[in-house]
Amino acid sequence: MDFLGNCPQYIANGLANGCIYILVAMGFNIVFNSTGIINFAQGEFCMFGGLLAYTLAASLGLPLPLAIPLALASTAIIGAAMERLLVYPLRRAGALVAIIATIGASIFFKSLGRVLWPKEAYKVPEFTAGNISLPGATVSRQFLWVFGLTILSVTAVYLFFNHTKAGKAMRACSVNRFAASLVGINVMRMSLYSFVLAAALGGLAGLINAPYASYSMGLFLGVKGFTSAVVGGLGNTFGAVTGGIVLGLLEELIPGFLTVVLGVSTGYKDAVAAILLIAVLLLRPQGILGRGVVEKV
Amino acid sequence: MSGKKIVVAVLLAGVLLASMLAQMGCGQKESGSKEPIKIGVVLSESGANEPLGKPERNAIKLFVKRLNEAGGIDGHEVEVIIKDDQSDANKAKQAMVELLEQDNPVAVIGSSGTGTTIAMKQEAEKAGIPQVCMAAGANIMDGDITWIFRTPPTATEAGRKALSYIAEVLKVKRVALLYDTNPFGSDGKAVVEREAPEYGLEVVVSEGYQTEESEEGMDTHLTNAMTANPEVVLVWGTNPGPAKIVKRMRDKGIKLPYVGSHGIANQAFIELAGEAANGVVFPAGKMLIYQKIMEPGSEEYEFIKDFADAYFEEYGENINTFAGHGWDAILIITEALKRAGVGATPEELRDAIESTKGLVGTAGVFNYSPTDHNGLTPDDLTMVEIVNGKWEPAKE
């Protein structure tokens, strides 16, 4: 069976993409938890991460260990600026208004990206170039970084939310913002923190997704990350992990199966994400790991 | 008081002088030259197609400047009215309506992209005015082609050139096609699948990809394609997809020949693919490597050299394909105008464009006919190989 022979490679590819989706999905979750809004500019944070890394490392020639933290910090500042200039002034206008405003921000960021980085694509330096040959699959060395940094990020986010005061305060906001403010939590500061964290995670996703970055990558990664977050259960860190891995694997395995076994090549891998999203919303709207939301009538 | 008077006097003198100068200017224009010939131009100076629209605009402006310095057409100056459609079909339509209402041009050039061109085409047909476009989308020539002509080679010419190279030079049969699912790639896919049997080739697998996919995503498409045991990988897309694919292919140790499309006939591909670009072969207009494949002194060589030198002198930049498409568009219209005469009606001008034969341009030799408004053939393209990061003629 050719398909089974190809499977190690499909799985390796799926895991590599899945890790990126996890990072983007966690960004969606963090903002959703502390503010109740979906930040549709999350994908554009990835764009900034990737392209800033290009500018700092490839254009200005900074060494990677310096360029990468700088790129992440700059992206985090962009996230903070977005929160202060857009989300904070709209804090009384309701979640829907803020969500629509984030769509505006994403268009603005993308246009800004096109002005600053007009070419179709830029080459972002890999942390370590080269490949590793495994039985049945070839993976890039970069994949090890992607894998390691994703595990590190997930662990860090988990520990932050469960074992630090700021993290617990942010979780309190997600349960009930009004009650959280009554016990002395500065809800708006938590909103700022969440954007900083989400932007840094998005930036990380964008720059380890090397070696290519472009101004148009935000929508692509944003859609995948959003799907992963919803599939896993919006707001749930391990949901993001589940959703990212499931989406990453299915996206490689399903088209592989269709082409190799059935001989039909549709050319629309994106359909996998769309169908998965619709299926989950219809069958299990709270997501795979979601607990379900009890709404008072 | 006297200070104020002086100021008033100077101002009055200034106004008087200005009005006199203006009158002189008017008088000169009326007595000196004949009525200018107006040509409307709509192209994408901003938005997604800016990299196409800007060099096209530069080339058109330079061409007209040189033409007018040489006396215009029968002593009539050529005036181009350039409008930016911002890569937006609605804006292209609006620009076209404005041109037709306000400027009454004898013909229009535009646009840079396929969508904007089709929006203009509808207006050009309604008004009955010749349109020369610089976009390559196959569907531009769907339906009525009475008024529309084009200058760039299309997927048909490029696809046939690439297929004949695979069949006659590589001498292999089993083709794996990877194509971008955008309009450029889909046009290529249609041509390759339709024309392959004519060259005795078999498309054993055709995989669509998205240019934004990661290298790992491209790896899956390659893995799928390799299962069909191809002898050559043909990739039809624009940057950065083809670069990701060739890099991954070489990383995996796949040694099959890689043939690309004219979508990678640019420096960006070499930059993005790096080392892996070496050995890649693709069809492109001869202009890309004209110094290496044309005889100095031949009409085609001298034409391109003249264009390249003039363009560099004016803008300090090297020519590129898109500048060439703009140059060809204005060339075709002005040559037809010379033949049809300055007072020609739009119908007469259209007929003159359609009867263009053997006209040397930057993209090749243009031959239009009532059934072919594309003008070029696969022979106007050449196969280029990347050797040590440089373009060289591929072996034939």
3-state secondary structure B204-235: EEEEEECCCCCHHHHHHHHHHHHCCCCCEEEE
**Amino acid sitting at position A117:** W
Domain tally for chain B?
Answer: 1
Assess A237–B contact: CB distance below 8 Å, yes or no.
no
* CA closest to A215 among chain B residues: B212
* Residue B320, φ and ψ in degrees, nearest 5: -135, 175
Report the share of chain B in percent with pLDDT over 90.
80
Say if CB B128 and CB B147 are below 8 A apart: yes
d(CA B45, CA A99): 32
Spell out the residues 6+ positions from residue B189 whose beta carbon is closer than 8 angstroms to its own: B177, B179, B206, B208, B236
Tell me the per-residue pLDDT of B68-101, one tens digit each, with 9 for 90 and over: 999 999 999 999 999 999 999 999 999 999 999 9
User: What letter does residue B297 receive in the DSSP assignment?
Assistant: T
Could you tell me if A51 lies within 8 Å of chain B, comparing CB atoms? no
Sign of CA dihedral B183, B189, B192, B197: negative
Mean pLDDT confidence for A139-156: 93
Predicted complex ipTM: 0.90
Least Cα distance to B258 among B215, B304, B222 occurs for B222
Phi and psi of A251, rounded to 5°? -65, -30
Query: 3-class SS at A233?
Result: coil
Q: What is the pLDDT of residue B356?
A: 95
Do B328 and B366 meet the contact criterion of CB atoms below 8 Å apart? yes
**pLDDT for res B310:** 96
Whole-number pLDDT of residue B395: 86
Chain B residues with CB inside 8 Å of A143's CB? 216
pLDDT at B19: 55
Comparing B192 with A234, the larger pLDDT belongs to B192
Q: Does domain A2-283 have CATH number 3.40.1400?
A: no
CA dihedral A205, A209, A210, A212 (to 10 degrees): -110
For A116, which DSSP code? H
Q: Is the per-residue pLDDT at B56 higher than 90?
A: yes
pTM above 0.80, yes or no: yes
Tell me if B210 and A265 make a contact (CB, 8 A cut-off): no
Specify the length of chain B in residues: 396
Cα pseudo-dihedral B243, B246, B249, B250, rounded to 10: -110
Query: Using one digit for the tens of pLDDT, what is the confidence trace for B176-188?
Result: 999 999 889 999 9
Is residue A239 within 8 Å of A232, Cβ to Cβ?
Answer: yes
Are the beta carbons of B212 and A217 separated by less than 8 Å? yes
The pLDDT, as a whole number, for residue A250 is: 95
Res. A296 pLDDT band, cuts 50 70 90: very low
Residue A258 is classified by DSSP as: I
**How many contacts (CB atoms, under 8 Å) link A and B?**
97
- Mutation test of the interface with chain B: which of A59, A140, A269, A272, choosing the one with the most B Cβ atoms within 10 A? A269
Calculate the alpha carbon distances from B271 to B49, B103, B212, B268, B388 in Å: 20, 44, 17, 5, 12
Give the pLDDT confidence score for residue B183 in this predicted structure: 87
Contact B83, B40 (CB under 8 A): yes
Q: Write out the two tokens for B66.
A: 């040189």
Select from B177, B282, B185, B168 the least CA-distant residue to B230: B177
Residue B27 pLDDT more than 60? no
Mean pLDDT in residue range B220-236: 94
CB A76 within 8 A of CB A192: no
Contacts 24+ apart (CB under 8 A), A53-59: A53/A124, A53/A125, A53/A206, A53/A207, A53/A210, A53/A213, A54/A117, A54/A122, A54/A123, A54/A124, A54/A125, A54/A213, A55/A117, A57/A124, A57/A125, A58/A122, A58/A123, A58/A124, A58/A125
For residue range A105-127, list pLDDT tens digits in order.
999 999 999 899 988 889 888 88
Query: Domain boundaries in chain A?
Result: 2-283
Residue A126: DSSP 8-state: P
Contact B208 A12 (CB under 8 A): no
- Average model confidence (pLDDT) across chain A: 90
Q: What is the pLDDT of residue A172?
A: 87
- The span from the CA of B273 to the CA of A197, in Å, is 33
HEC letters along B116-173? HHHHHHHHHHHHCCCEEECCCCHHHHCCCCCCEEECCCCHHHHHHHHHHHHHHHHCCC
Which residue in A has a C-alpha nearest to residue B212's C-alpha? A217
With CA atoms as reference, the chain B residue closest to A270 would be B210
- Reduced to 3 states (helix: H, G, I; strand: E, B; else coil), residue B384 is strand
Question: Tokens representing B242?
Answer: 């083809």
pLDDT per position as a tens digit, B350-367: 999 999 999 999 999 999
Residue in A closest to B217 by C-alpha: A13
User: Is B82 domain-assigned?
Assistant: no
In a domain, B337, yes or no: no
For residue B21, the model assigns a pLDDT of 53
Q: Which domain holds residue B285?
A: 156-289+381-393
Q: How far apart are CA A100 and CA B254, in angstroms?
A: 47
B328 within 8 A of B334, measured Cβ to Cβ: no
B28 pLDDT higher than 50:
no
A269 lies within 8 A of chain B by CB: yes
Chain-chain contact of B219 with A259 (C-beta, under 8 angstroms): no
Residue B22 clears pLDDT 70, i.e. is over it = no
Phi, psi of B341 (to 5 degrees): 95, 150
Can you tell me the distance from the alpha carbon of B243 to that of B370, in angstroms, rounded to the nearest whole number? 39
Report yes or no: A140 and A210 within 8 Å, Cβ to Cβ.
Answer: no
Contact at 8 Å (CB) between A8 and A134? yes
CB contacts of A252 in chain B (<8 Å) are 216-217, 220
The CA distances from residue A277 to A235, A255, B213, B217, in Å, are 16, 17, 19, 19
pLDDT, mean over chain B: 90
Residues contacting residue B223 through CB under 8 Å, at least 6 positions apart: A6, A9, A10, A13, A256
CB contact under 8 A, B223 and A6: yes
**Contact call for A269 and B209, based on CB within 8 A:** yes
Distance CA A79, CA A76 (A): 5
Residue entry with tokens 């259960």: A233
B290 pLDDT tier (thresholds 50, 70, 90): very high
| Partner A contacted by B271 (CB < 8 A) | yes
Please provide the size of chain A in residues: 297
Compute φ and ψ for B363, nearest 5 degrees. -90, -5
| pLDDT at site B33 | 60
* pLDDT score of A126: 85
Min Cα–Cα distance to chain A from B215, Å: 8
What is the mean pLDDT of the segment spanning B199-222?
A: 93
**Residue A16 contacts B, CB cutoff 8 Å:** yes
* Residue A20 to residue B214, Cβ atoms within 8 A: yes
B227 touches chain A (CB under 8 A): yes
Domain CATH number, residue B260: 3.40.50.2300
User: Are the Cβ atoms of A13 and B268 closer than 8 angstroms?
Assistant: no
Does residue A24 register a pLDDT over 90? yes
> B193, B220, B246, B275: which to substitute to probe chain A, counting the most A Cβ within 10 Å?
B220
Q: Provide the pLDDT for residue A30.
A: 93
Convert the pLDDT of each residue in A134-145 to its tens digit: 888 888 888 899
Taking the CA of residue A76 and the nearest CA in chain B, the distance in Å comes to: 24
Contacts of A46 (CB under 8 A, 6+ apart): A24, A202, A203, A205, A206, A209, A217, A218, A221, A222
Tokens of B268: 């960006």
Tell me which residue in B205, B217, B271 faces A269 most closely, judged by beta carbons. B217
Output the pLDDT for position B11.
59
B61 Cβ contact partners less than 8 Å away, ≥ 6 residues apart: B80, B82
Cβ density class B330-366: b for 16+ within 10 Å, e for less: bbbbbbbbeebebebebebbbbbbbebeebbbbbbbb
Residues from chain B that touch A17, judged by Cβ atoms under 8 A, are: 214, 216-217
pLDDT tier at A242, thresholds 50, 70, 90 = very high
pLDDT at A34: 86
The pLDDT value recorded for residue A287 is 85
More confident residue, A226 or B2: A226
Nearest to B271 among A123, A220, A260 (CB): A123
Structure tokens at A270: 């994106």
Rounded to 5 degrees, φ, ψ at B227 are -60, -25
- CA–CA distance, B236 with B247 (Å, rounded to integer): 15
Model confidence at B25: pLDDT above 50: no
A220 touches chain B (CB under 8 A): yes
What is the DSSP annotation of B56-116? HHHHHHHHHHHHHHTTTBTTEEEEEEEEE-TT-HHHHHHHHHHIIIII--SEEE--SSHHH
Q: Residue B334: which of B359, B300, B315 has the closest Cα?
A: B359
Contact B272 A256 (CB under 8 A): no
Q: Is B51 on the interface with A (CB under 8 A)?
A: yes
The pLDDT assigned to B20 comes to 53
In angstroms, the CA B119 to CA A77 distance is 42
> For residue B180, what is the enclosing H or E element?
strand B174-180
Mutate to test the interface with A, among B175, B209, B211, B223 (most CBs of A within 10 A): B223
